[in-house]
Amino acid sequence: MIRIFHFFDNRSLWRDELYLGISLIKMSFWELATQPLAYEQKAPLGFLWAERLAVEVLGKGEMALRLFPLLCGIAALFAFVPVARYFLKPWAAMLAVALLALASPVVYHSVEAKQYSTELLASVLALLLYVRFHQKRSLKALFVWGLAGALLLWFSYSVIFVLAGIGMAVTLKMLRQEGWKAPLRYVPAFGLWVCSFAVTYVLFLGRYQDSQWLTVFFEKYCQAYLPVSFSPTALPKWLFMKANEIVKNPLGQTFKFAVASPAAFIVVRFFPLALLGAGMLLFARKSFSKFSVLVFPLLLALLASGLKQYPFYERLVLFLAPMFIMFICYAAQEILALLLGRTAVKLLLATLLLAPPMYNAVREITNPDYFLNKEKGREALLYINDQFKQGDAVYVYWNMWHVYDYYKEAYNLKFTALKGEDLKTVSEDEDTYLRKLSPGISQVKGHNRLWYLYDSYLRVNIGGFVEQPAWYFHKDYLPGQTPKAAFFNLGKEREEKFMGKDAVVLSYQLAP
């Protein structure tokens, strides 16, 4: 119900959704398969085609783009039930499903027009396939397992970590129990996974050029790569930081308000963090074969992170959320067993783990503006569209052009905007920047009224490096202020309207 509410709340698409959405509404099925996506976006072909099918059937609006992620988010919950029951006892399994259902970041990605919800579903389905098939011996069953896993790779790139981890866990178990020949029986399944990944790599992943700017961003500002360092403290410090980050996002184990009391902070943040660590240790000791299925995907993702091939960061590790949750719930299960299954302890454990996501869920339903990445670019453009009259001009700064680019097509806006080019990287200072912007700015002359739309926060364009050039990233320089000053010289400012926290609409009465 929480996902359904936020789906029908139908908030404006936010920046990352828009970057991908522009390609989804403008490109055909064939173009999505053969041409680079706009704004350097990347997504599996199966996801792209599912999204394009929704556009063909339902139109170009936000809800059409979010329908497939919503269905994936809901399906992931149902698929997680038998998975949790296999790895956990009934009470702990029920708790695990509840945590996945309520975690605010998981809910958010279920109604986001991006592939992360699909990747979560693919991860859960890969685990479900393991539960159903890892003890099968027939050739038919192994081929079915192989074909199903191979199909998942066309909808999720990150699922390769899960499938490879499962393959490693099964192989290790067979080697320990039956000798070196035993793993060969799984070649029909694992071989199909390898072939499918090879094809997707050659056709898609291998074509993508390394985005140096994105690597630098993830490394410098997100600490998303496991450090390869001789320092004895670097790795433990990074792992603890990432574990703490995971508790917040994607697991949603934090209240979204400032905690004044240090004691309360420790309970809220470090209780699930302690359970996560304890759960991994206890699982490894009591059932290594099951533990390896859950931990090997994590280790492979960390390895890829250390090689700077995959950022270990928030939404990009959403596919590992089921594993983290099951480790936490396994620790809760063992604590309960140690204390002889007392009802009071069960209630306390459930309350401590469910209170933060339940609080956040209620808070975000009663006031949807608290939901993650709540932007109002659509509201800004529709406001201009309603007020627009013959003889007006609309100038959209580069940091809102992706918003205009999508909504012009999706909502058939009645005005055609002038584009404020992103010329900061070829300008030595603000004066040079203004001079290079002048030809575009001068196009508004001869109109009665000007509408100027910009984002007061966004400083970096796709492909740009943070803090370059230095003058643009000076703390006193505000994005959009250079055109604003130029327009002030062309006419009288009539209105300044803030849409949400970032989008700003200015109107000017221009001099005749």
Instruction: List the Cα angle 282/283/287 in 5-degree steps.
Output: 125
Q: Which two tokens stand for residue 465?
A: 């490096």
Mean pLDDT of 136-163: 96
Mean residue pLDDT of the chain comes to 91
Coil, strand or helix at 223: coil
354-393 tens-digit pLDDT: 999 999 999 999 999 888 888 899 999 999 999 999 999 9
> Is there a single domain that holds both residue 274 and residue 389?
no
Q: Which pLDDT band holds residue 73 (cuts at 50, 70, 90)?
A: very high
The burial of 190, by beta-carbon neighbours within 10 Å (0-12 exposed, 13-18 middle, 19 or more buried), is given as buried
Tell me the CA distances in angstroms from 135 to 130, 175, 367, 464, one per residue in order: 9, 15, 48, 50
Phi then psi dihedrals of residue 222, to 5 deg: -115, -5
> Is there a single domain that holds both residue 352 and residue 444?
no
For residue 379, give the H/E element and its range: helix 377-387
* Maximum separation of any 2 CA atoms in the chain, in Å: 89
> Is there a single domain that holds both residue 317 and residue 387?
no
Q: Which two tokens stand for residue 249?
A: 């996002």
Tally of domains within the chain: 2
438-494 tens-digit pLDDT: 999 999 998 999 999 999 888 888 888 888 898 898 878 888 888 888 888 888 878
> Is there a single domain that holds both residue 17 and residue 98?
yes
22-72 tens-digit pLDDT: 999 999 999 999 999 999 999 999 999 999 999 999 999 999 999 999 999
Tell me the CA distances in angstroms from 317 to 159, 291, 311, 398, one per residue in order: 11, 18, 8, 30
DSSP tag of 339: T
The percentage of residues in the chain with a pLDDT greater than 70, rounded to a whole number, is 97
Q: Where are the alpha helices (DSSP H) in 412-476?
A: 430-441
Phi then psi dihedrals of residue 505, to 5 deg: -115, 125
Q: What is the pLDDT of residue 220?
A: 84
Buried b / exposed e across 264-288, counting CB within 10 Å, b at 16+?
eeeebbebbbebbebbbebbeeeee
> Is there a single domain that holds both residue 383 and residue 366?
no
Phi then psi dihedrals of residue 75, to 5 deg: -60, -35
Dist. CA 500–CA 503, nearest whole Å: 6
Boundary residue ending a domain (370, 400, 421): 370
The burial of 30, by beta-carbon neighbours within 10 Å (0-12 exposed, 13-18 middle, 19 or more buried), is given as exposed
For residue 503, give the H/E element and its range: strand 503-510
CB distance 319 to 158 below 8 Å? yes
> Is there a single domain that holds both residue 209 and residue 93?
yes
> Is there a single domain that holds both residue 176 and residue 301?
yes
Q: What domain range includes position 239?
A: 2-370
Per DSSP, what are the bridge partners of residue 461?
Answer: none
> Is there a single domain that holds both residue 312 and residue 420?
no
CB distance 346 to 91 below 8 Å? yes
> Is there a single domain that holds both residue 297 and residue 401?
no
Q: Where are the alpha helices (DSSP H) in 59-115?
A: 62-87, 90-102, 104-110
Tell me the CA distances in angstroms from 454 to 136, 381, 479, one per residue in order: 59, 11, 8
Beta pairing class for 392-396 and 449-455: parallel
168-223 tens-digit pLDDT: 999 999 988 888 888 889 999 999 999 999 999 999 887 776 678 888 888 888 89
Dist. CA 41–CA 390, nearest whole Å: 36
> Is there a single domain that holds both residue 128 and residue 169?
yes
Dist. CA 488–CA 261, nearest whole Å: 48
Q: Which pLDDT band holds residue 267 (cuts at 50, 70, 90)?
A: low
Coil, strand or helix at 479: coil
385-423 tens-digit pLDDT: 999 999 999 999 999 999 999 999 999 999 999 999 999
Dist. CA 229–CA 39, nearest whole Å: 34
Q: Which pLDDT band holds residue 268 (cuts at 50, 70, 90)?
A: low
Q: pTM of the predicted model, to two decimals?
A: 0.94
Boundary residue ending a domain (302, 335, 370): 370
DSSP 45-56: HHHHHHHHHHHH
> Is there a single domain that holds both residue 75 and residue 193?
yes
Coil, strand or helix at 507: strand
Boundary residue ending a domain (351, 370, 389): 370
Q: What is the pLDDT of residue 176?
A: 87
Name which of 127, 138, 130, 122 is nearest 170 in CA terms.
130
Q: Which two tokens stand for residue 232?
A: 């004895």
| Dihedral angle computed from the Cα positions of residues 58, 462, 220 and 17, in that order, rounded to the nearest 10 degrees | -10
Name which of 134, 120, 128 is nearest 189 in CA terms.
134
> Is there a single domain that holds both residue 382 and residue 358?
no
Q: Which pLDDT band holds residue 436 (cuts at 50, 70, 90)?
A: very high
For residue 212, give the H/E element and its range: helix 212-221
Q: Which pLDDT band holds residue 110 (cuts at 50, 70, 90)?
A: very high
DSSP tag of 298: H
Q: Which pLDDT band holds residue 228 (cuts at 50, 70, 90)?
A: confident
Predicted confidence (pLDDT) at residue 233 exceeds the cutoff of 80: yes
Dist. CA 510–CA 164, nearest whole Å: 63
